[in-house]
Chains A and B, each alone.
Chain A
Amino acid sequence: MFKKILVANRGEIAVRVIRACKELGIRSVAVHSEVDKDTLHVRLADEHLCIGPPDPALSYRNIPNILSAAEITACDAIHPGYGFLAENAHFAEVCESIGIKFIGPTSENIGTMGDKAKARDIMSRHGLPVLPGSEGEITSEQEAAEVAAKIGYPVIIKASAGGGGRGMRVVNKEDELAHAFEAARAEANAAFGNQSVYVERYFLEPRHIEVQILADERGRTIYLGERDCSVQRRYQKLIEETPSPAVDDRLRRELGRVAVEAAQAVRYRNAGTVEFLLDKERRFYFMEMNTRIQVEHPITEEVTGIDLVKEQIRIATGQPLSWKQQDVKMIGHSIECRINAECPDTFAPCAGLITRCQMPGGPGVRVDTAIEPGSEITPHYDSLIAKLIVHGLTREEALARMRRALDECVVEGIKTTIPLHRRILDDPDFQKGRFSTAFLERFSSPPPAG
């Protein structure tokens, strides 16, 4: 087992990883930027050091300072959390080369899956269901038009290096294609420094279903059920739940089998998530694989009882998986609401000082957060401030718990998504489990221009 782990992140996920370290008897080192000096993850860790100014490019994404911090504190492993350096193949590679274990997949896994067009191609060649679309990258408008004509409109143009909804353009008919192709390429180039794009069939009201997998260093791979992340706006997830109201046991086993095959196709290691799109006829298609622990991982932990972060650490030490597939049992229903520091109507980030903060508790309620009264939400980082997670024996019980937890939850001084969550929980379609990725459109005012 590792002796000391550097946690290369901040906020709730840094706290989450430090908690896992404590339970495993491993010392933890927190790193922080100048503005995060007095935050929870810094206080909870055994050691801490400042790695740079507030700008994340100079602190949480500053590879030399983070590796140097690991070296001077004699850490034998680094947990990247999510975001920042979590899916940076170069960082994982440098860690490997200097003998510091990167707790996550191999740099090769990250590189392969980070190129969405390539990943799609590999899955297709392994006979896994992918969305109808281009074979790899497309380089000209004419090529895009040919693919679109073949698979039928509407289509979506996506950045190969993409994520978070950037570098994506939906094209409804052929005369929109030229503009969309150029726009997607320009946006991809601006956001990722890579203008490579690919084309896929666009489904109007699909569900976003993802499958959690774990693979040990010997390649033994299991799946831990699905998460329904259809409630999203502008491709940012807001509410996740497991099991999905749209997935029955048979479909779950099928999704799980395909997710495990996808992971094995690239000799995947550690925790990962295979994302699928589920259409109205309940056909599913591989979209991409996320090579990190995900924000919404707690709902899987709640229903399986498996601590994914501790399992990541155990796997990274070379231990075999603690569970066989048949030992994984999903009990009850879990839902997560992401509390973001943002205006609930326009989704504009809202920075400021948290004057009052009272988190819910009681049966079946878990809160993963790093905020407290007096915390200052700065504009430098992600707007996620807390994750409200509930677990109930049934979906109805989980929904009632989430409503109760949202009512107990008080955050003052900044605007949050709490009021929006209350409205969603009151929506009859949501209560019945009838929603798609288009669901949230009815709750939002038009996004600000640009």
Chain B
Amino acid sequence: MRREGTGVPSPPVEVSVPVSAAGLAVAPTDAPTAEPSTEGLVTVRSPIVGTFYRSASPYADVYVEEGSYVKKGQVLCIVEAMKLMNEIESDIDGRVAKILMENAKPVEYGEPLFLIEPGAQPEG
């Protein structure tokens, strides 16, 4: 029953190797198949069930791209649940190493959304 890394309540951000998203996803074919190298990276997981959006509206710019530098408290994405827009913030300073989810896709509780390289600073 119990699987590695899922035995404890997940805070939105935890340091762990994400379990294969393919086994979890509502639409498994949309999940990333290649497991990225995650050593030293922090996984940002969805704290709720809903729909993942990379921007505040279809016309707005995306919150972050891969390679973006983020500050603690900065909004990374929105997970919409029952018409409520829930902003998901970064818990740490760092660089977005990988965006794991496509825009407008359903996400479940604990689903990995981003990999963040902690502490990375823009050069110069």
Q: Which residues of A are interface residues toward B (Cβ below 8 A)?
A: 34-39, 47-55, 58-59, 64-69, 71-73, 98, 374-376, 378
Contacts and interface: CB of A to CB of B under 8 A. Distances in A.
Nearest to A52: B109
B2 A72 contact: no
Interface stretch (B29-37, B48-56, B59-67): B48-56
A11 to B, nearest CB: 11
Contacts of B50: 68, 72
B109 A50 contact: yes
Contacts of B106: 49, 72-73
Contact of A65 (B1, B9, B81): B81
B49 A49 contact: yes
Interface residues of B, number: 22
B110 interface: yes
Nearest to B106: A72
Chain B binding surface, main DSSP class: loop
A50 B7 contact: no
Q: Which of B1, B26, B50, B82 has the most CB of A within 10 A?
A: B1
A375 B1 contact: yes
Contact of B48 (A38, A64, A73): A64
Interface in B101-122: 106, 108-111
B82 A376 contact: no
B103 to A, nearest CB: 14
Contacts of B25: 49
Given A38-B1, A72-B26, A53 B10 contact: yes
B7 A35 contact: yes
B6 interface: yes
A34 B81 contact: no
A64 B47 CA distance: 12
Contact of B10 (A34, A37, A64, A66): A34
Contacts of A55: 9
B3 interface: yes
A54 B7 CA distance: 8
